[in-house]
């Protein structure tokens, strides 16, 4: 048994972790605040902490955790850009992640965003509820025969490509570290993908090479009216440049499940609050923009697998068992 402080807790975290923990018997303390240097004191008395995508695990935070005797950090997500891995290693804090929980969950959400933006089902739903049965301004396009470009060809990208091939699209992919691709996917260079694809979907990790890789210069090379979907990490897309591309009509559709400044917004109910983020307010004002609040992973299957892998990582850390999820 390991004593674990789970930060950024939502109701569904408690539900699935408690359910799966019946097979592990760790001592779980659920905390609503996000982890930072200021909130790290809440982990006092624990041996490990569990964090999510918007927790801040920088050098200062890690030092506070180390002072409290924390020796294990488990991420209940695949990305680890929020963690200073070098400082963690220097302090002897072992870091584990969930590299794969349900690639299909994120891939299917990306497809849902494409279909919603294209066929405008969200607008049709609201119209019909108000007694408006007009089809004006609801026209879409056939996906069949279109070129769909993937940036990143990991498990999520491959799952997405498999679905898009079922629509009859031509699937192009760019991934600098992949040379062997499944049948039906054509590997191309970056410029070819961004200049020829009708729909572009981002499925790569955030790092120093991918931060703001979709920017003004890239938008200028894209087809007029291109559709862009991002279910990966917000900072891969330069939001300011995306707004300009939308204003100019270069970007015809934008679907984002992630956002650069989402740590101040997502996973909270701000319906009665004044939102001070001018950038997201501007994005929300466009009729051809669809924003969801980091919902791509949110399926029963994914949440169950996330909890199971996270708790198994804790058990392996405690027992000194070899674990490929260790960073």
**Mind listing the pLDDT tens digit for each residue in 210-269?**
999 999 999 999 999 999 999 999 999 999 999 999 999 999 999 999 999 998 899 989
The question of whether 294 is a catalytic residue gets the answer yes
Q: How far is CA 224 from CA 220, 248, 282, in A?
A: 9, 10, 21
Pairwise CA distance, residues 295 & 106, whole Å: 8
Residue corresponding to tokens 């409290």: 68
For the whole prediction, is pTM greater than 0.75?
yes
pLDDT at residue 299 in the model: 96
List the catalytic residue out of 26, 76, 97, 294.
Answer: 294
Q: Are 91 and 63 in contact (CB under 8 A)?
A: yes
List the catalytic residue out of 47, 170, 262, 305.
Answer: 262
Question: What mean pLDDT do residues 294-322 have?
Answer: 94
- Which of 148-152, 193-197, 269-273 has the weakest average pLDDT? 269-273
Pairwise CA distance, residues 230 & 236, whole Å: 8
Q: How far is CA 91 from CA 50, 63, 81, 228, 256, in A?
A: 17, 8, 18, 41, 36
The DSSP code for 81 is T
Angle ∠(138,141,146) on CA atoms, nearest 5: 160
Q: Are 203 and 152 in contact (CB under 8 A)?
A: yes
167: which 2 tokens?
Answer: 């629509």
List the catalytic residue out of 26, 76, 97, 233.
Answer: 233
- Residue range 103-291, CATH number: 3.40.50.720
3-state secondary structure of 95: strand
pLDDT at residue 11 in the model: 94
Q: How far is CA 38 from CA 4, 31, 43, 58, 105, in A?
A: 18, 14, 11, 12, 34
3-state secondary structure of 314: helix
Fold adopted by 3-101+299-319: Rossmann fold (3.40.50)
Angle at which helix 103-119 crosses helix 300-319, to 10 degrees, equals 150
**Mind listing the pLDDT tens digit for each residue in 151-166?**
999 999 999 999 999 9
E strand map for the chain: 3-6, 27-30, 48-51, 72-75, 94-96, 147-151, 170-174, 185-187, 199-202, 226-230, 251-256, 289-291
Pairwise CA distance, residues 173 & 176, whole Å: 10
The question of whether 262 is a catalytic residue gets the answer yes
Q: How far is CA 4 from CA 48, 129, 290, 319, in A?
A: 5, 46, 37, 15
Share of the chain above pLDDT 90, in %: 91
Provide the pLDDT confidence category of residue 100 given band limits of 50, 70 and 90.
confident
Q: Are 113 and 164 in contact (CB under 8 A)?
A: no
DSSP-assigned letters across all residues of 170-220: EEEEE-TT-----TTEEE--HHHHHHH-SEEEE----STTTTT-BSHHHHH
Whether residue 101 has pLDDT greater than 90: no
Residues of the chain with CATH 3.40.50.720: 3-101+299-319, 103-291
């Amino acid at each position: 048994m390991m004593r674990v402080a789970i930060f950024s807790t939502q109701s569904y975290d408690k539900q699935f972790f408690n359910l799966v923990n019946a097979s592990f018997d760790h001592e779980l303390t659920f905390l609503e605040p996000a982890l930072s240097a200021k909130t790290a004191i809440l982990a006092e008395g624990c041996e490990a902490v569990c964090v999510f995508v918007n927790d801040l695990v920088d050098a200062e935070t890690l030092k506070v955790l180390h002072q409290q005797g924390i020796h294990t950090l488990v991420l209940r997500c695949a990305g680890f850009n929020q963690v200073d891995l070098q400082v963690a290693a220097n302090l002897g804090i072992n870091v584990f992640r969930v590299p794969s929980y349900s690639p299909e969950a994120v891939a299917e959400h990306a497809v849902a965003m494409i279909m919603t933006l294209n066929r405008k089902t969200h607008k049709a739903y609201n119209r019909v509820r108000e007694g408006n049965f007009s089809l004006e301004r609801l026209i879409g396009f056939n996906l069949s025969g279109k070129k769909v470009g993937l940036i990143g060809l990991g498990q999520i990208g491959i799952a997405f490509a498999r679905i898009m091939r079922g629509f009859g699209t031509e699937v192009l992919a760019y991934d600098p570290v992949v040379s062997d691709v499944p049948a039906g996917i054509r590997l191309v260079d970056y410029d070819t993908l961004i200049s020829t694809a009708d729909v572009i979907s981002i499925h790569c990790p955030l790092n120093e090479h991918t931060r703001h890789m979709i920017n003004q210069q890239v938008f200028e090379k894209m087809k007029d009216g291109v559709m862009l979907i991002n279910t990966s990490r917000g900072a891969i897309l330069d939001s300011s440049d995306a707004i300009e591309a939308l204003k100019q009509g270069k970007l015809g559709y934008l679907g984002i499940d992630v956002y650069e400044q989402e740590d101040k917004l997502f996973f909270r109910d701000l319906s009665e609050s004044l939102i001070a983020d001018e950038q997201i307010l501007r994005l929300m004002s466009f009729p051809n923009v669809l924003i969801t609040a980091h919902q791509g992973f949110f399926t029963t299957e994914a949440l169950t697998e996330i909890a199971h892998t996270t708790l198994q990582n804790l058990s392996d850390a405690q027992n000194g068992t070899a674990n490929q999820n260790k960073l």
